[in-house]
Amino acid sequence: MYFHLADLARKQRYKLIAGAVVPRPIALVTSLNADGSCNAAPFSAFNYMSEDPPLLALGLQVHPDESDRAGEPKDTAANIARSGEFVVNIVDEPMLPDMVDCAIAFPPGESEVERLGLATEPSLHVAPPRLAASPFAFECRRKVTLDFGPFRSIVIGEIVGVHVRDGLVDPATLNVDLDRFRPVGRLAGTWYAFQGDRTSRPVRTAAAFAQDGPLRTRRS
């Protein structure tokens, strides 16, 4: 089976690509509306890009065709374009219901934070606040925006600081406690994945590979 993407409509491309590239981390992004209220919107077109400089990327889009604001930039895109500042709040299991509600098509400029009664904490280096419930919150400033057409742009944000829930990171080693950190991954449609099962596979040396062969040929 093969799909030539030029032959598919935009929604079909999204369904195919987003259904295959899974699970994806979820950024619940806080930014400030023009009136100073706090917007919160989920993004799974998101990931870490670099540590030096510390960068992450957000895929920003316009309102869908069925919306009464079809083709207009969504609030997060407009807010970042105006101020250049945002906070990426990582979503864990307890945050899933609120994250889903933040995707509701509230009227333009209306604050999801206020409608849902989400607790926030001040950021240290940017104006938008962080969500108090988030296990990791990355304060970011826009580094560059890449426009690829009327429907999609990618914002590269430079991370200027990270807030971490107490007990999740060893301050000496910076190792994350995976028994306490329970992130949610985005699958397709309305489906999400919890990270209940884990496996460790350290990378071997070339000499160990030469001696023992491929991992797939060895009994676990």
Tell me if 14 is assigned to some domain. no
Tell me if 196 is assigned to some domain. yes
Tell me if 3 is assigned to some domain. no
Tell me if 102 is assigned to some domain. yes
Tell me if 16 is assigned to some domain. no
Domains: count for the chain: 1
Residue 98 has a CB neighbour count (10 Å cut-off) of 19
Tell me if 13 is assigned to some domain. no
pLDDT for residue 91 is more than 80: yes
Tell me if 2 is assigned to some domain. no
Which residues, 6+ apart, have CB-to-CB distance to 15 below 8 Å? 188
Tokens for 102, please give them. 């933040």
Amino acid 219: pLDDT: 65
* Cα radius of gyration rounded to whole Å, the chain: 20
pLDDT for residue 55 is more than 80: yes
Which residues, 6+ apart, have CB-to-CB distance to 117 below 8 Å? none
Range of the domain at 121: 24-217
Which residues, 6+ apart, have CB-to-CB distance to 9 below 8 Å? none
127-176 per-position pLDDT tens digit: 999 999 999 999 999 999 998 888 889 999 999 999 999 999 999 999 99
4-41 per-position pLDDT tens digit: 999 999 889 989 999 999 999 999 999 999 999 999 99
Tokens for 46, please give them. 């998101």
Tell me if 19 is assigned to some domain. no
Residue 135 has a CB neighbour count (10 Å cut-off) of 22
The CATH number assigned to the domain holding 193 equals: 2.30.110.10
